[in-house]
Amino acid sequence: MDSSNTITLGIVLGEGASAVTFKALDDLGRTVCVKQYKTSVQVADRDRIQREIEVLKRLNHPQIPTVFGSYIDTVNGRDLLHVVQEFVDGEDLSSWSKSNRLEQSTVLEILIDTLGVLGHLHTAQPPILHRDIKPSNLMRRLDGRIVLIDFGQAVQDVHRTLGQTMVTGTIGYQAPEQIVGEATPKSDVYSVGVIAVELLTGTPAYKMLQGQTLRWERHCRRLPLSVQEWLDAVLHPEGNERYTSQQACAHLKELTDAFVSTAEEEGAHTTASMISSNFLELLDDAIHDESESKRKQREVEHRKRISQEREIDRRQQEEEQWKESESQLWSEMWSSWERLLDTIASGKVSREKGLEIFNRAFRERVEECERLRHWGDLHVDVVLLWNYTTSNTSLEVRRAYQRWIDIKFVHDKKEVQKTKRLRMVHLRREVAMIGQQLELQSSWQSWWQSMLTSTSLQQQQSEMKKELVQLGSELDALWREVERIIRRYVLFDFEVYVRRIEGQIEGHGTDTHEMVLIPKGEFMMGALETDEAAEDYEKPRHRVMLTRDFLMGKYAVTQVLWENVMGTNPSKFKGPNRPVEQVSWFDVVAFCNKLSEKEGLDPCYVITGERVECNWNAKGYRLPTEAEWEYSAAAQESYTYAGSNTIDDVAWYEDNSESKTHSVGQKKPNGFGLYDMSGNVWEWCWDWKGSYSGEDHTDPRGPSSGSVRVRRGGCWYFHDKYARISFRRRDPARRATNLGFRLMRLAP
């Protein structure tokens, strides 16, 4: 946006509910108009505002003020938007018409001028609506031409961005459809029609309102019938029956003679009184009768619509009454069902006899509901339980009942069990990782350093093992509760149902993602100057120090892991152990937080809309930085690709992928034991795209802002150049079939 330093604000030209307008000078010495909006602009809105200002800049028409640009300036501690546009030397129509006698010919010129400008806006692609046509937004220049001003509501979302209300326009000038938030180009034409009535009769719009309906006809009885018919067409309450701006302008030009003859008749009447007053009264009455006839026809159509709406309301009320009756029936059926289950469980009655009694007790009422119900379906629970108790119940009905019991009683407990099992998976992984860390420290630390560090780690390991025992006990108790519920409510195929539930839960007790401990260290990041395949943005090569141990996913995140956490699978190339793809950068950070929560870890990301902040000290899952990714891929080796100089050994890429992804872990790992760091799918990183410098860096996290994020590693679709360790690719936060990610988090 433009700088506020080049604009000097002068006198206030006017003030509305949403903005103050100033006369000002710009750096070119031009007199300009600056509109200062009153609503603070959020950082996230600025790009959208700029796009909208660009739309306004393209409104190239001699009767539309040129928009020069915009800027955001701080006023009284608030960031306010300022729009800079051409200064129009003249007077708005509202003020000018009060101080000047308007001839009919002048009114005609004003209306044709206004409709001509609207025709330019409405034929744009896409059409542009002004949304607030009224006399104060029509400026009469010194040369007499009408200029259309105040485009604060003219483009999509501008009325929200610039602080206007959601229902746009001004009371009295709004078309009926505009009042309910459904404005079209013909809504602007309606507003011109209201202005026409005001100028031709001298009656303000607000005096013609009855409720939200404009009663203009009786004020126009002295106008020629051809003019009234034109007003009928531009003020039609149904938008689809109304003139377009081009039609309104064309028909208005045909009425020139009517306007002239009206002026001549008024002049003749003033000078000679040659027309009988009785005749005029009778003529007025006839014109009124014609107008009333049209008005009554519209009211008949309106009453018809109201009648239809009332019929819909009646049916909805009837539906509510049926729902209440069926709800009462359901309450009685469920209470009786619970009593029957107790009786069957105690052995006082057989299952078959109990179901027969239940069915006989409610048959008449259920059948009555089915017979009388003529709009909508019966209460789904009533139908399901009734069918389950009917003799010779089908396998399909039994399974539907089991699914219903699962949702009603078992689902939440299954979710708790899954969460606890995931926590156990995480703890087992942590215990193993601490064991690796202890071995690693003993190999490079002195004995006394190792002893001090290992005591803390061993304590953590001991606490985790205690939690594992506790979780095991809780899972046993939960399963006993689930089994009790199933045994009570499921009267058929009990063993089959139990095995199915066990299988669903057990699937969440396996480790779907392994992590590898990556020791802290330093490395040279970027491509060598001698690397002929390298791009400029891979250079200069520079020293990077990573000061904390971390865990990196052994594999890219698989579809089975994604589905376990998110419940969906967006991938094109389906396969449980294939990498998940078609996930945006925002999808991925949301996944990291959700997995962290499932495993009892502090989430790393704070997500507010499209604004994402990272807590770098949190122990949860996150995306690696570019530096962490490249350090892990290089693995303290000097290969071109992650683990080899021969790409086919370590990567799926254009020449060997057969145009698809492959299950993870089929190629050789790199020196850290990480698979597919080159090829298969691109992997999202945290960083915004930025240029390298030759300086040393410690734990770099990339630029603080930007427009595109970095992805690394190449993919199945691209050739070998892109799979090199140092190659960098930028991307908006979009989804693609060759784009996935790898998990990372700090070491315990």
pLDDT in tens, 321-348: 777 888 888 889 899 999 999 998 888 9
Per-residue CA distances from 139 to 35, 87, 92, 429 (Å): 16, 11, 4, 74
Q: Is the pLDDT of residue 116 over 50?
A: yes
Per-residue pLDDT of 517-567, as tens digits, reads: 888 999 999 998 888 888 989 999 999 999 999 999 999 999 989 988 898
Residue 111 · residue 196 · CB < 8 Å: yes
Length of the chain: 748
Count CB atoms within 10 A of the CB of residue 415: 12
Find the DSSP H helices in 25-102: 46-57, 93-99
Q: How far apart are the first and last CA of the chain?
A: 46
Compute the distance between CA of residue 386 and CA of residue 278 in angstroms, rounded to an integer. 81
The dihedral sign for the CA sequence 640, 645, 650, 654: positive
Backbone angles phi, psi at 202, to 5 degrees: 80, 10
The backbone torsions φ and ψ at residue 349, rounded to the nearest 5 degrees and listed phi first, read -145, 150
CA nearest neighbour of 551 among 447, 430, 427: 430
pLDDT for position 160: 34
Q: How far is CA 156 from CA 15, 49, 56, 161, 170, in A?
A: 23, 11, 11, 10, 18
**pLDDT tens track for 656-684:** 999 999 999 999 999 999 999 999 999 99
Task: Please answer whether residues 539 and 529 qualify as being in contact, where contact means their C-beta atoms are separated by less than 8 angstroms.
Answer: yes
| 167 vs 400, more confident | 400
Which range (32-46, 448-462, 484-498, 603-617) has the least confidence?
Answer: 448-462
Residue 458 confidence (pLDDT) above 70: yes
Backbone angles phi, psi at 637, to 5 degrees: -115, 175
Regarding pTM above 0.85, the answer is: no
90-99, 241-250, 426-435, 462-471: range with lowest mean pLDDT: 426-435
**Cα separation, 569 vs 572, whole angstroms:** 9
Q: What is the pLDDT of residue 20?
A: 87
Report the pLDDT value the prediction gives residue 166, as an integer from 0 to 100. 37
* Mean pLDDT along residues 481-488: 84
157 pLDDT more than 50: no
Between strands 31-40 and 19-25, the pairing is antiparallel
The CA distance from 468 to 304, in Å, is: 71
The number of angstroms, rounded, from the C-alpha of 602 to the middle of its chain's C-alpha atoms is 27
Is the predicted pLDDT of residue 479 greater than 50, yes or no? yes
Torsion sign (Cα): 466, 468, 469, 473: positive
The answer to which of 150-164, 217-231, 328-342, 437-451 has the lowest mean pLDDT is 150-164
> Tens digits of per-residue pLDDT, 33-45?
998 888 776 666 6
**Residue 510 confidence (pLDDT):** 43
Average pLDDT value over all residues in the chain: 83
Residue 155, pLDDT score = 42
Instruction: State the pLDDT confidence band at 499, using cuts at 50, 70 and 90.
Output: low
pLDDT score of 571 more than 60:
yes
Q: What angle do CA 526, 670, 453 make, to 5 degrees?
A: 90
How many CB atoms lie under 10 A from the CB of residue 463? 11
